[in-house]
Amino acid sequence: MKAILFAAAAASAFALAACGGGEPEKPAEPTPAADATPEPAAAPALAGPAAMPDTTDVAAYMTARHENYEHLGKNMKVLQDNFRSETPDMAAVAPAAANVKAFADAMGDWFPDGTGPDSGNKTEAKANIWTDRATFDAARAKLAEEAGKLATVADAAAFKAQFPVTGGACKNCHDTFREEEKDH
Amino acid sequence: MDAPDHPAPETHPTPSHQRVWDVPTRLVHWSLVIFVGLSWWSVENKRMDIHYWSGLILLGLLVFRIYWGFAGPETARFARFLKGPRTVVGYVGKLFRPDYRASFGHNPLGALSVIALLLAISIQVGLGLFSSDTDFISAGPLNRHISDYDTVKQITDLHEDFFNVVLAVVGLHIAAIAFYLVVKRINLIGPMITGRRKAGNTDGPPAGIASVSLLRLGIGIVLAVGVVWLIAR
């Protein structure tokens, strides 16, 4: 019996060691009551959408667009982390959600002609943004609507209910209009 | 899975079949096949909800299989089938000799394949726990413990690339099985389904593996579910 318990401990230790990254982990022992995971780490400076340059330099324009989406991703990370938390920090959620709404409202203007894949610049934007503009615009409008709801959630429960819906509106567009990044 | 485990001692003195793989080991094996496949399919088809749960099921299977490598029946135990380099080389030397006898359970070379598979899938699942797409619409259950955006991106890129290693190890495994089937005329697939092989030119006790108590099995299931629950909640 002792051997089995040892094996059990060894197996769980291996499994947790296999989690990779050497990142901070939850305790391996079940500690039901005493677990209030500190959430989330001090928020890095979160930005809303930066003003886009004019399109005289197409490459610079596309880089700025990419950076804007990265900032949007960082805001989404804060929301995702809080969504996973048992007790979302609404003081962190509110500004991130407001930023996401600002991005959603602004991004409709970020795809002028000539800034797609045929520009020759590296981009995840697919050509069908320009060939199927009506669908793209409808998807963008849907995102603006769902991001608006996310920016006005009253409490943690409402946030947890709305976040996947807003995420679904992002995904709706990504699945159709964003190229999978193949090389990093 | 047509052959139930027979805890009762064999009645005839020379059994026609040898039990080599117990039910849990076979179930874990084929579940790994299914859920590695499902994980691949779901991510290719942008079904991250399925990918998330498929990965957690793989985690539970791995935890159970590692535990079973200490607590399971003879042929499932790491200490029983892992051999030193000299034995592995010796086995390869014997492979084409007329007096070659099929191993009882994993052969010394196949044992390395088992470890490589378990390790590769463990690393892949471990990376997945911390991964997220750059849009953070969905994320692995431990992703929130890494606050840095670029670190997440690196881990996720690694998760994506490492699948090629998983594919390579799986490919090697399948190639080895094909080699035994075609060249050595030994069917390894049948026993992994039925648990039994024809007694005859094999090592090991004629009746094969002994049964393992349900208590041991229960501990393994509780352990696997517990680890998954701790991580996913």
3-state secondary structure A127-164: CHHHHCHHHHHHHHHHHHHHHHHHHCCCCHHHHHHHHH
Distance CA B138, CA B126 (A): 16
What are the two backbone dihedrals, phi and then psi, of residue B223, each rounded to the nearest 5 degrees? -60, -45
Residues A36 and A85 sit within 8 Å (Cβ to Cβ): no
How far apart are the CA of B68 and the nearest CA of chain A, in angstroms?
8
Three-class secondary structure of residue A93 per DSSP: helix
Mark yes or no for CB contact B66/A30 under 8 Å.
Answer: no
Whether residues B231 and A84 touch (CB distance < 8 A) is answered with: no
> Quick check: ipTM above 0.85?
no
CA distance readout (Å), A126 to A3, A117, B77: 58, 6, 51
Q: Calculate the alpha carbon distances from B222 to A176, B34, B114, B197, B228 in Å.
A: 42, 22, 23, 31, 10
- Chain A neighbors of B69, CB-CB under 8 A: 11
Q: How many CB pairs under 8 A join A and B?
A: 125
Q: Output the six-digit token pair for B72.
A: 């399971």
Give the pLDDT confidence of A104-151 residue by residue, as tens digits.
999 999 999 999 999 999 999 999 999 999 999 999 999 999 999 999
Q: Two tokens at B63? A: 């935890």
Shortest distance, CA A8 to any CA of chain B (angstroms): 6
What are A11-59's pLDDT values in tens digits?
444 444 444 444 444 444 444 444 444 444 444 568 899 999 999 999 9
Contacting residues of A for B129, CB less than 8 Å apart: 19-20
**What angle (nearest 5°) sits at the alpha carbon of residue B48, between those of residues B55 and B114?**
25
Set of chain A residues whose Cβ sits within 8 Å of the Cβ of B155: 20-21
Verify whether the Cβ–Cβ distance A80 to B223 is below 8 Å: no
Residue (of A1, A3, A17, A15) closest to B66 by Cα position: A15
pLDDT-based confidence at B170, cuts 50/70/90? very high
Residues of A with CB under 8 A from a CB of B: 3-4, 6-8, 10-12, 14-16, 18-21, 23-26, 28, 30, 39-41, 44, 69-70, 72-74, 76-77, 79-81, 84-85, 167-168, 170-171, 174-175, 181, 184
How far off is chain A from B180, nearest CA to CA, in Å?
31
Please judge whether A14 and B127 are an interchain contact, meaning their C-beta atoms are less than 8 angstroms apart.
no
User: Could you report the per-residue pLDDT of A81-96, keeping only the tens digit for each?
Assistant: 999 999 999 999 999 9
What's the rounded Cα separation, in Å, for the pair A153 and A92?
Answer: 13
**Percentage of chain B lying above the pLDDT 90 cut:** 77
- Amino acid identity, residue B86? R
Out of B71, B127, B147, name the one closest to residue A4 (CB). B71
Question: How many residues can be counted in chain B?
Answer: 233
Of B10, B94, B65, B32, give the one whose Cα is nearest residue B220.
Answer: B65
Distance from CA of A135 to the nearest CA of B (A): 19
Among A4, A72, A84, beta carbon nearest to B219: A4
3-state SS, residue B147: coil
- pTM, 2 dp: 0.83
Q: Using alpha carbons, select from B148, B128, B140 the residue that is nearest to residue A74.
A: B148
